[in-house]
Amino acid sequence: MQKTKLGDQIKAIVGQDYFFDSYEDRLCYSYDAAIEEAMPEWVAMPGSVEEIARLMTLANTEGFPVYPRGAGTGLSGGSVPLKGGLVMVLTRLNRIREINQEDLYAIVETGVITSALHEQVEALGLLYPPDPASMKVTTMGGNVAENAGGLRGLKYGVTKDYVLALQVVTPAGQVVRVGSKCVKSVSGYDLTHLYVGSEGTLGIITEITVKLVPAPEHKESMMAIFDDMNMAAKTVADIIKSGVIPATLEFMDNTSINAIEDFKKIGLPRDAQAILLLETDGVKAAAQHEAEKIIAVCKANQARDVKSAATEQEKLQIWEARRTCFSALARVRPNTILEDATVPRSKIPEMVRGVTDIANKYGIQIGNFGHAGDGNLHPTILTDLRNTEEKQRVQKAIDEIFALALSLGGTLTGEHGIGSAKAKYLENEFGPEGLAVMRAIKTALDPNNILNPGKIFVADTAIA
């Protein structure tokens, strides 16, 4: 069918107000928070599951690609329409349908903003732990599709640990329900967790049931300051070895500290080589006892100082510093490439040293921060991609960072997904056999390869 006619059909499904095909509108949906860009042919914002199902049926019949999109904060190019087609923006499905205090679950539509769910459950003394640094803008659907992590991931786990059930629209337009409200359910294949982290390649997630937990009674927040980056990295592993699992254990190097201070002037120590931001939580006496143990480990590892936040305001400042880190680094140079290669925690010191060596070898600037307690660092390359010579050095550095992580027994991505940005490395992690199993799943569920083509698998190779 002709392009204009297809556009008319899409418009007829979602209505004139929610269909866009002007150059300016399409441009707004041609990128996310990663580097790659591509123009869609149409943008549609469906307002119901029924509209989504009709759009998928049309796409499957006519063979045009569909790129699901939440808030577009993805860091691996996940929602970028590499092959044109339709960008399906899911933010209109934004109702919190139920918060159940008896059975401790919440049911939300895909477009609910993550922090909106936090606020509502916290007002009831409950907690939905996954807290990506981008939580004030991200959608729950985007979090599920990327299996997002967050600052509390060390103690509480990541999105997949909280998803109980999903409603999904398949590439052929069928509406299916997977999982259960029960905390225990082993009925059939675990399709729920097949969709979690599927990066918009297997189905459109429309409704999510998540597990809630009681909110902790008390929190202790601390900042440990180090003159030696290696000692800070070693402290991460030593804290875990000491038997304490903090709720949060974040690492920040000197480049990141100074970028934040230039941006927000929070009062971080500009001369420190690294800082660790830490939080313990739980019953007050236990949280305080764990904080004391952590302080002792930091001091034994030559921390220059460990500052405990005395007031709520000081606590908020510590976490504000961490949450603005990426935005602060992004101001330093025209382009920012944030990676999330992850290693076993005990390998953090080697990874930190290795990334510094790679930056020196290629003469590029890399800020390093991240959820170090999870082994999940964010080496952040600050560059100018208009400079083709520098771009080549950056590409070689990225290749080496991923090779280093894998050689340390790590993984390509701890939370941002493969998307298009890391597709070419995936075989290095799982081998041709592992990749073939993934391709077989994609082919079984999306035989016409219409959902998010070019992601996870190198473009055009998803169909076996």
Residues of this chain that bind ligand FAD (CB under 6 A): 32-33, 67-75, 78-79, 90, 110, 132-134, 138-139, 141-143, 145-146, 148-150, 199-200, 204-205, 326-327, 415-416, 452
Taking the complex as a whole, how short is the minimal distance between the CB of residue 75 and ligand FAD, in angstroms? 5
3-state secondary structure of 225: strand
Residue nearest ligand FAD, CB atom distance: 142
Taking the complex as a whole, how short is the minimal distance between the CB of residue 146 and ligand FAD, in angstroms? 4
Taking the complex as a whole, how short is the minimal distance between the CB of residue 208 and ligand FAD, in angstroms? 9
Query: 138 or 280, CB closer to ligand FAD?
Result: 138
Q: Is 317 exposed, middle or buried (0-12, 13-18, 19+ CB in 10 A)?
A: middle
What are the phi and psi torsion angles at 353 (to 5°)?
Answer: -60, -45
Taking the complex as a whole, how short is the minimal distance between the CB of residue 121 and ligand FAD, in angstroms? 18
Query: 131 or 290, CB closer to ligand FAD?
Result: 131
Taking the complex as a whole, how short is the minimal distance between the CB of residue 93 and ligand FAD, in angstroms? 8
Q: With beta carbons less than 8 A apart as the criterion, state whether 163 and 205 touch.
A: no
Taking the complex as a whole, how short is the minimal distance between the CB of residue 64 and ligand FAD, in angstroms? 15
Taking the complex as a whole, how short is the minimal distance between the CB of residue 299 and ligand FAD, in angstroms? 29
Query: 196 or 225, CB closer to ligand FAD?
Result: 196
Query: 99 or 196, CB closer to ligand FAD?
Result: 196
Query: 85 or 149, CB closer to ligand FAD?
Result: 149
Q: Of the candidates 190, 155, 51, which has an alpha carbon nearest to the alpha carbon of residue 109? A: 51
Q: Of the candidates 302, 306, 171, 175, which has an alpha carbon nearest to the alpha carbon of residue 231? A: 302
Q: With beta carbons less than 8 A apart as the criterion, state whether 73 and 137 touch.
A: yes
Angle at 183 between CA 198 and CA 165, to 5 degrees: 35
3-state secondary structure of 98: strand
Q: Which residues contact 186 (CB under 8 A, 6 or more apart)?
A: none
Residue 372: CA count within 13 A, CB half-sphere: 33
Find residue 175's DSSP bridge partners. 169
Query: 136 or 307, CB closer to ligand FAD?
Result: 136
Query: 145 or 382, CB closer to ligand FAD?
Result: 145
Q: With beta carbons less than 8 A apart as the criterion, state whether 232 and 135 touch.
A: no
